[in-house]
Amino acid sequence: MTMDNRDVSTIHQPVLLEDCVRLVTGGLSRKQSPIIVDCTLGLAGHATAFLKAAPQARLVGIDRDAEALALATERMKAEGLADRFIPVHAPFDEFTRALDDNGIHHVDAAFMDLGLSSLQIDETERGFSYSHDAPLDMRMDVSQALTAEQVLAEYDERDLARIFKVYGEERFARPIARRIVARRTQEGPLTTSAELNELVDEVIPKAHRPAGNPAKRVFQALRIEVNGELDKLAGTLPQIALKLNKGGRIVVESYHSLEDKTVKSFMTQGLTARVPANMPIVPPEAMPFFKELTRGAVKADEQEIASNPRSASVRLRAVELTRPLPEDIRHQFVERVALPGKALRARHAQGKGI
């Protein structure tokens, strides 16, 4: 259970671990043989803690990164938890298939940690980090075709600007895109993170640079595009809700505003009565079907940020299903699950996504 001969447990610091364990396992003691799904298994830091806190539970661990899945599986064996662990190699938007393939029809808790895993950050050859020079890869699943280098080499100026602005919230998205297209025309495409760092550094005026590396928003945007992260998130949350038992929980850690907005929007639709504000009596079918467990978003405190800087931007939200999904909502969720897949297939056919 090593990576470069290091113990996996020493290289992975789960964010908000105690809060996540409390939220994921808090309602499981009343259930027989509950099922937890960790949709973003990584190196199993959260997952091992869930199984230790809920000794009657089984856990399905989903990860699109085959290397991370193998290391997590070895960790489960070393921790004596392998008999309650089901590993699945898949992106998390294949949530329904992952359960169906294992004969699981309903679950009692689903967890998502949307940040990069320590493995992806620390393995510099993946090209996720702007602080190390590496090929511009950024694939969470190295078996897929699309890489960050391909995006930068093939997308036109308009699409690049859109990606940087929407996914990176980058103020200088258009001039950065313009420079990338000019650079590849004159000198050839960008191939390394150092080259991209240098280009962004030249474009963004010093007076308008964010704290830290000026290219961090561009790297974030490329990672989201390469891996189709927001499309997958929007398509996965309804799948989870459709599989939840009554009293089941959805617990999500987000690390940037676009993720958090997607999660918040999804959860909010189940937290409010679906009637006009002045309606004196709310019919049962219009009552909320989620109960909020976090009172907004939980953030890391100063002590955790000091010990684990990656926790600085985390936003943790959780809800519990209080009653079966209303039929109209269930129908909407089924339709919504289909749409992102169609959109992703269309993008893949155009060479613009997975």
pLDDT digit string, tens, across residues 337-347: 876 554 544 44
The reported pLDDT for the residue numbered 97 is 96
Sole residue written with tokens 């967890």: 111
Q: Which residues contact 218 (CB under 8 A, 6 or more apart)?
A: 164, 168, 170, 176, 196, 200
Tens digits of per-residue pLDDT, 196-246?
A: 999 999 999 988 887 778 898 999 999 999 988 898 999 999 999 999 999
By mean pLDDT, which of 116-125, 143-152, 290-299 is the weakest?
A: 116-125
Query: According to the annotation, is 46 in a ligand binding site?
Result: yes
* SS3 category, 146: coil
Query: According to the annotation, is 92 in a ligand binding site?
Result: yes
* Residue 282 binned pLDDT confidence (cut-offs 50, 70, 90): confident
Query: According to the annotation, is 141 in a ligand binding site?
Result: no
* CA–CA distance, 193 with 81 (Å, rounded to integer): 39
Query: According to the annotation, is 108 in a ligand binding site?
Result: no
**Thinking of the domain 2-119+229-349, which architecture would CATH place it in?**
3-Layer(aba) Sandwich (3.40)
Indicate whether this model's pTM tops 0.95: no
**Thinking of the domain 125-227, which architecture would CATH place it in?**
Orthogonal Bundle (1.10)
Query: According to the annotation, is 45 in a ligand binding site?
Result: yes
Q: What percent of the chain has pLDDT over 70?
A: 88
The reported pLDDT for the residue numbered 248 is 97
Q: Which of 149, 151, 204, 194 is nearest to 173 (CA)?
A: 204
* CA–CA distance, 210 with 130 (Å, rounded to integer): 14
Q: Which residue has the higher pLDDT, 326 or 5?
A: 326
Question: What is the domain partition of the chain in residue ranges?
Answer: 2-119+229-349, 125-227
Query: According to the annotation, is 89 in a ligand binding site?
Result: no
Region 159-184 average pLDDT = 96
List Cα–Cα distances, 69 to 117, 294, 314, in angstroms: 11, 29, 23
Tens digits of per-residue pLDDT, 135-149?
A: 999 988 888 899 999
Largest Cα span, the chain: 68
247 dihedral zone (left: phi>0; alpha: psi -120 to 50; beta): left
* CA–CA distance, 112 with 41 (Å, rounded to integer): 8
> Checking DSSP bridges between strand 35-38 and strand 107-113, what pairing results, if any?
parallel
H/E run at residue 246: strand 244-254
